[in-house]
Structure 1
Amino acid sequence: MEGKVPYANGNSSSNGNGSPGANGKKAGTSGFADSPSLRLPEAFVILSPDQVSGEKTYEGTVGFKYGPSKDDWLRIPYTSMKKVIDFCSEHKDLFNMHLQKEREKNQVSDL
């Protein structure tokens, strides 16, 4: 596995040193090929469109990471995710205020 970055499913790809991975695409430093992500108000991470191998096997959906555990994620349609993004953007102060209170109590770790 030297020079390889493992994916969540146990496969591996290039570590971005210029050689392509198994799917012919260069992997980024995160280990995911062509996988943009968006972080909403300090609580949610949105992964698009397929975070396992870079292949679009889940067309029309995005991954939604909502907690620190590897099981704290789900996959929802783009239209639903747009609603979540808009809601979080409009209420970011509320999210950040509650998250800060939990961090002060040492009850929430960083995602």
Structure 2
Amino acid sequence: MAEKTIMLCCAAGMSTTLLVSKMQKAAEAEGIDAEIFATSAANADSKLDEKNPDVLLLGPQVRYLEGQFKDKLDIPVEVIGMQDYRMMNGEKVFKRAMSMMKK
């Protein structure tokens, strides 16, 4: 089992797949055992129950869900910055997720 679990959520779970791959490489480069996965907004609740992530990152296209998730979860929830998402900056998004877990 990974020491950290990071869940990404977007409209269909497809656009975050490349970002997950880049975040996984960033985790490996830092020697951190992390499970990073993406899911669609429709499957988010079941994945939250199944995987119990340490942090939830939302794609910009589902930013409207942020309040709902913050109300019902006791883990950090944040929308991925538009520029980092567009550029698929896995290293920066991974580092942000890690800093969210330390708060």
Give the TM-score normalised by structure 2: 0.24
Give the TM-score normalised by structure 1: 0.23
Q: From the CA coordinates, give the structure whose radius of gyration is larger.
A: 1
Higher helix share: 2
The one of the two structures with greater contact order (alpha-carbon pairs below 8 A, sep at least 6) is 2
